[in-house]
Structure 1
Amino acid sequence: MTDDTSKPHNHSLLEDVQGILFGSTMAGLGIVILTHLGLVTGQTAGLAVLISYVTGWSFGAVFFVLNLPFYWLGYSRMGLRFTIKTFIAVALLSVLTKFLATQISFDTLTPWTGAVIFGMIIGSGLLALFRHGASLGGVGILALYLQDKTGFRAGYTQLCFDACVFAAALFVLPLMSVIWSLLGALVINLVIAINHRKDWYVAT
């Protein structure tokens, strides 16, 4: 006799909606904390944050535009369902970061505490998106595409990109802000590395 509870099952539409909304909201809250402290992060979001610091443009608008070139790669590599969900998640994050910034203020938030909380919140948001077949687009999609085409490991591509983002941040932010930013990025990666395992979560 087999245990049906161990078999993968598809998420319902309602489950996908709440999962993507939760993930995008958590990511948006994390970005509000990040930008309040004047920190930066990796991946496409980090590049968008840096551009917003330098130009004064809205993070949400910059992030949305930066992701546009990657959707075709997402469709080619992951399919239409993933691409649509990712587009929705990116659009939600772009809107929510602006909205949440008008709803939340901080009297006291130290950089190291904010970096850790930011990492935890962003990590939980990304986990929710991954588990509902979505992402926040950008470099992660490119990394998977290059891995398919060239064999160059996706993780190395993302690591190289993040190194470039943090190197550029040294010309924009104080050194200690970059150090606290690295702490936040470390927490994000730990949350995902420890919790994102297919054998622990079998729904799709």
Structure 2
Amino acid sequence: MISVDETKISHSRLDDVQGLGLGVFLCALGMHVLTHVGLITGQTAGIAVIISYLSGWSFGAVFFVVNLPFYALAYRRLGLEFTLKSLISVTLLSVFTDILPLGFAIQTINPALGAVIFGATVGFGLLAMFRHNGSLGGLGVVALLIQDRYGFKAGYVQLISDAVIFLVSAFLFPLSIVGWSLLGAVVLNLIIAFNHRRDRYIAT
């Protein structure tokens, strides 16, 4: 039987580029579906989506700005590499979500299906990024810090933060929108909770 220590994996720069690139693309694809259907989500992206809906501003621009305060925390707690990767990933996601509609127009999609597609694509996108020491910043950084320090799973931390955001959203949007959006958030966070295990996958 191979022990956990014997399965330690070392990532090259090329590994990180393809892993983070794929993760960002999957997240951007999921966000494109989410905003097309008119749903919301939790975490920092959810805050940015709500602001963009209410203000008419671009999601990409709002998402980039909302993440700025979290970089100092990421640097102090998770190091320069993680912070730089997160900054690059957030910037790329902001750009991708603005240009995807130019080449990928969605004609018809059921809100329930849209919620599941969003949860699955963003969930696996975030997993790819976590495994290459990156994230989309914001509350995801806080969730990772809590998991690493206290062992409380990042997915569950995000579920709690989502609950607060959805509670506020219930006063701003129709309950049908909030309900389908909650489905997407549950799919996303359960994927992370069941699959993001540092004792099963250790990267250097």
Alignment of 1:110-129 (within 5 A): 110-129=110-129
What are the superposed Cα offsets for residues 157-187 of structure 1, whole Å, 9 maximum, x if unpaired? Answer: 6444322211222233211110000000010
TM-score by length of 1: 0.89
Using the TM superposition, name which of 19-28 and 162-171 deviates more: 162-171
1:147–1:13 distance in 2 versus 1, CA, 3 Å: closer
Tell me if the contact between 1:6 and 1:202 (Cα under 8 Å) persists in the aligned partners. no
Alignment of 1:20-169 (within 5 A): 20-143=20-143, 158-169=158-169
Tell me if the contact between 2:29 and 2:121 (Cα under 8 Å) persists in the aligned partners. yes
Instruction: Return the alpha-carbon distance in structure 1 between the equivalents of residues 98 and 122 of structure 2.
Output: 16
- Runs of 4+ aligned residues of structure 1 deviating over 2 Å after TM superposition are 2-7, 140-149, 153-161, 198-204
- How many Å apart are 1:112 and its aligned residue? 0.5
Q: What code does the residue aligned with 2:200 have?
A: W
Tell me if the contact between 2:162 and 2:185 (Cα under 8 Å) persists in the aligned partners. no
Tell me if the contact between 1:73 and 1:145 (Cα under 8 Å) persists in the aligned partners. no
Using the TM superposition, name which of 56-65 and 156-165 deviates more: 156-165
Instruction: Return the alpha-carbon distance in structure 2 between the equivalents of residues 27 and 19 of structure 1.
Output: 12
TM-score by length of 2: 0.89
Using the TM superposition, name which of 86-95 and 187-196 deviates more: 187-196
Q: What code does the residue aligned with 2:71 have?
A: Y
Tell me if the contact between 2:32 and 2:101 (Cα under 8 Å) persists in the aligned partners. yes
Root mean square deviation of aligned Cα? 2.5
Instruction: Return the alpha-carbon distance in structure 1 between the equivalents of residues 95 and 145 of structure 2.
Output: 27
Using the TM superposition, name which of 95-104 and 42-51 deviates more: 95-104
Tell me if the contact between 1:131 and 1:203 (Cα under 8 Å) persists in the aligned partners. yes
Unaligned 5+ runs, structure 1: none
- How many Å apart are 1:192 and its aligned residue? 1.1
